[in-house]
Amino acid sequence: MNSSGGELFAEFALREIPKLLTLQNRNPHSPTYGCFDRNYWHYKIADFPCGMSQEFVWPLALALESDCPGNPYRDNEVIGQYVRAGILFAARSSHSDGSCDDYFPNERALGASAFSLLACAEAYQLIGMQSDEALEFFRRRTRWLSLRYETGRLSNHHALVALCLDVVSRLCKIDNFAAARDERLSELLSWQTSEGWFPEYDGFDPGYDTLTLSCLARLHQTNPTTQLKKAIRSSVSSLANFVHPDGSFGGEYGSRNTYNFFPHGFELAGRWLPDALAINDRFLSGLHAGRAPCYSDDRIIGHHLWNYLLAARDYVTERPQQTSARPTRTELLQAGILIDRRETIELYIALTKGGVFKLFRDAQLVLSDTGISLRMRDGKVAVAHLIDNYQRDIQPDRISVRGQMGWAKQSQMTPVKLIVLRLVNLTIGRCAPNILRLLLQRMLVTGKKTAPFRFERRIEWNVGATSLLPALDRLKLRLLSR
């Protein structure tokens, strides 16, 4: 590594390595040696290990080879032993079909299974591991993934499965996994919209879209096709809109409200598409200024760490000259997102989420607003930000969004609910995990129950004023009827 940008990606990831080591059971005499789910092996407040957590073997393995200055983990043999232990625990804690659970027993979660399989297979190769048990586990889980489809349309999971099929087919030299990869990839590309983005549940989330792009860029390395190259180019063009003027990325106006950013795909695509490198450069300016979001979640921190370390390893040294000119107004009507740039002000507004917006002035965040909410006397809350087909009126100097409010999802777990859920997991969930997943998705993630209120959000630009700020500050929220 010989560039400050690559070093910045690596430094961001390497400082989280101690957290991963703290989460892992590193006692070789323990029956749960190698497990990264501390709630299971140490606190014993979980009754099954989270399979997603075994993904952490990949950032540990990448830390072993990182040449970032001052990297204390480089060529550390003990870290290599921990990686090996993590891979073997993933194999031994999986179901007989190779799948693993994430949040519930017998869940057989496709996302967790794909994330951790990819990580284990890649880490296996990085440390030069030789294990028939691990290879058999890779084949078993990949066979399960090749036949498995989940409820909901999560493009990043679909892309991960395609990449797993590719990696394991090459590692284990199994041709039929390559055929399954092509089928999965073809379906994923058919989901891409004409605006360039891939769906996540009910809409477009820029953060998860960067993960989908990372997987596609990896697949393009080993299986370059004209169709895949076209899809990557279109995706990069779409994602270029969502690096904010302060270097931050994404947020509540996306379908899943994430601040995710996965840089590796932009480095890979940037070798033949310079516009992709410009996206990373803008994000790096925010990273350098300390504006990166906190990813230190015990379950998903690994997603970002391996992606940042890969971006550091594959960092392109010859960078394009950034151009400051960006479109004055960008309307992604399929995504329901509008971006308006005027003088020193940038507005990002979600039309399908009731007018949720971010406002920047002089490259600084002024306001991140998720709309009005109304609290009832009985504690129920009506909100305007749930995804829906709201009425919208887009004029050169006025944007209005209006429609029906919805009830916020506020259900919490109780001892009784947890007991019932466990009984369902151990009975119905054992035979039909996808049906149970669909029901839980509808209860906790997707769908909108309408509330007896209507709202209108209006943003007006005062063209005649010497400054645009007074007009923007006159954001009007109206409760029209009950």
CB of 114 closer than 8 Å to CB of 162 = no
CB of 241 closer than 8 Å to CB of 332 = yes
Are residues 295 and 344 located together in one domain of the fold?
Answer: no
Which DSSP string corresponds to 337-370?
EEEEEETTEEEEEEGGGTTEEEEEETTEEEEEE-
pLDDT for 2 equals 46
pLDDT for 467 equals 41
CA distance 221 to 334: 30
Are residues 149 and 292 located together in one domain of the fold?
Answer: yes
Q: Sign of dihedral through CA atoms 311, 312, 316, 321?
A: positive
Q: Is residue 324 part of a domain?
A: no
Are residues 237 and 98 located together in one domain of the fold?
Answer: yes
Nearest to 458 by CA among 399, 393, 372: 399
Are residues 448 and 369 located together in one domain of the fold?
Answer: yes
pLDDT for 463 equals 57
Q: Is residue 321 part of a domain?
A: no
Are residues 191 and 235 located together in one domain of the fold?
Answer: yes
Q: Indicate the residue among 288, 313, 338 that finishes a domain.
A: 313
Total number of domains in the chain? 2
Q: Indicate the residue among 313, 344, 368 that finishes a domain.
A: 313
Q: Is residue 318 part of a domain?
A: no
Q: Is residue 322 part of a domain?
A: no
> pLDDT tens track of the chain, all 482 residues?
445 899 999 999 999 999 999 999 999 999 999 999 999 999 999 999 999 999 999 999 999 999 999 999 999 999 999 999 999 999 999 999 999 999 999 999 999 999 999 999 999 999 999 999 999 999 999 999 999 988 778 999 999 999 999 999 999 998 889 999 999 999 999 999 999 999 998 799 999 999 999 999 999 999 999 999 999 999 999 999 999 999 999 999 999 999 999 999 999 999 999 999 999 999 999 999 999 889 988 888 999 999 999 999 999 999 988 776 777 899 999 999 999 998 889 999 999 999 999 999 999 999 999 988 999 999 999 999 999 999 999 998 889 999 999 999 888 889 998 888 888 888 877 777 777 777 777 777 777 899 999 999 988 887 554 344 433 433 344 444 33
Global pTM reads 0.93
Question: Measured between alpha carbons, how far is residue 296 from residues 13, 239, 303 in Å?
Answer: 10, 24, 10
* Region of residue 363 (left: phi > 0; alpha: psi -120 to 50; beta: else): left
Are residues 346 and 408 located together in one domain of the fold?
Answer: yes
Which helix (H) or strand (E) segment is 9 a member of? helix 4-14
CA distance 75 to 87: 18
Are residues 79 and 217 located together in one domain of the fold?
Answer: yes
pLDDT for 3 equals 59
Which DSSP string corresponds to 367-421?
EEE---EEE-TTS-EEES-S----EEEEETTEEEEEEEEEE-------HHHHHHH
Nearest to 47 by CA among 1, 96, 104: 104
**459: three-class secondary structure by DSSP:** strand
pLDDT for 328 equals 86
Q: Which domain CATH number covers 16?
A: 1.50.10.10
Q: Is residue 319 part of a domain?
A: no
pLDDT for 477 equals 41
pLDDT for 201 equals 84
pLDDT for 430 equals 79
Are residues 28 and 172 located together in one domain of the fold?
Answer: yes
Q: Indicate the residue among 258, 286, 313 that finishes a domain.
A: 313
Cβ neighbour number for residue 120 with a 10 Å cutoff: 29
Tokens of 408: 């916020």
Q: Decide the pairing of beta strands 364-369 and 373-375.
A: unpaired
Mark 97-118 as b/e (b = at least 16 C-beta within 10 Å).
Answer: ebbbbbebbbbbbbbbbbbbbb
Q: Name the residue range of residue 365's domain.
A: 329-481
Are residues 34 and 170 located together in one domain of the fold?
Answer: yes
Q: DSSP code of 240?
A: G
Phi and psi at residue 225, to the nearest 5°: -135, 155
Are residues 307 and 333 located together in one domain of the fold?
Answer: no
| Residue 369: strand pairing partners | 357
Give me the helix-helix angle, 77-93 and 57-65, nearest 10°.
Answer: 160
Phi and psi at residue 45, to the nearest 5°: -105, 0
Are residues 56 and 125 located together in one domain of the fold?
Answer: yes
Are residues 217 and 257 located together in one domain of the fold?
Answer: yes
